Structure 1
Amino acid sequence: MCCLPPWRSWGPKINADESALWLSEIIPAPLEFRYVDERRLGLAALADAQSLALTTTFNNTDTGLQSQEDGTDVRCELLTVARTGQPEVAAAINAAADTFEKADGLLPAQPGVMLPSILDVPDITVHHGLFIAPYLWGGQTPQFREEGRLTLILQLVMLTDSEYAFGVEEGVGKLQGAVAEQGIDLLDWSREG
């Protein structure tokens, strides 16, 4: 994993202000920080009518992950991007964070994890979540390293019922291959399927 840019430790655990500063420096658009349903999120408008939402304090949630190299706790901030409004991306990211928090460490926040039925919004055809390594940074995942903890970005993509069913039956790897092969636009949350 690579740091973009290299981060220094600011004490024992990253706080909300430090997290906001780090996220502001790595997201390729100005972030607006707001409370949405009692969770502090960073929201941004991107090119091509895309909206971005990400958590800013989810790194305080232990989902049970540790580095295989040295046992360091691995935490994350959750991010999603779509060609839809900010209320929809905020609802999706909050629902995903709630799901992990309710699992109380039994559901790891890592690529390949699928979350069923997390979003039910009018005019949106995607209801299920899949976590992937983020692609905003060209394959490199930004990270914030501090003593005893590593915080990464984890990206949520939303799936239709049929895409989710395919992923459950055939596996996430085959689903990702089929998405690429068929040119499915994962940013379109009103797509058929």
Structure 2
Amino acid sequence: MSVFRPFRFISKLEIEAYALNIWLQMERSHNPLQLPIDASIIAEFLDLNLVWDTIPDDEQGAIAARILPLEKLIEINENIPQLKGGFGESTIAHEIGHWVLHIDVEQVERYIRLKQKGVDVQVKPFLCRSSNLARIEWQAQYFAGCLLMPQHILTELKQDKDLTKWQHLYQIATDLGVTISNLTTRLQDLGWIYLDTDTRKIYLNRSS
């Protein structure tokens, strides 16, 4: 039995809308997100449990994280150092992206009800590998950026800031609780800045 959606193209705008919808749902429930953003609070709002644990390698290698759909559980591999620290929020948001975009939550609920009635239901975990460049991984990572750095929040935070100055970008990243890498990637995705990777100089857009 599977609860995983077949792959489909999802536009950036649609992914942005999925992420914004969570913000709006939390606001309507009188549980608005506060800065810096704690992604575990979003997981809890979505009725997802979250643990950092040891996930053994399989025949394909290291597993960065996995989702156990019927347990509504996100497990993140604590033995992969790059998933910790400042990247922790992005890692959690990435897995939330898989839950929202790639798992049929209604089907999950149906299977949970069957299991509660004693029916033997077996569902494989959703595996996420840090080295995987598959399109669904790109979708989940783009979702994470939208969830942790919504455009309307960035618009507020950039007031009186110069986006070409690193110290201003670091301040925005601190306010949001994300890494500077997460922030510059998001700002470039939005087309607000262009970062010259050779000189590390920032321009307001590619034509500057």
Query: Where on the TM-score scale, by shorter chain, does this alignment land: which range?
Result: under 0.3
Q: When you count helix as a share of all residues, which structure comes out higher?
A: 2
> Larger C-alpha radius of gyration, 1 or 2?
2
In the superposition, the TM-score normalised over structure 2's length comes to 0.26
In the superposition, the TM-score normalised over structure 1's length comes to 0.27
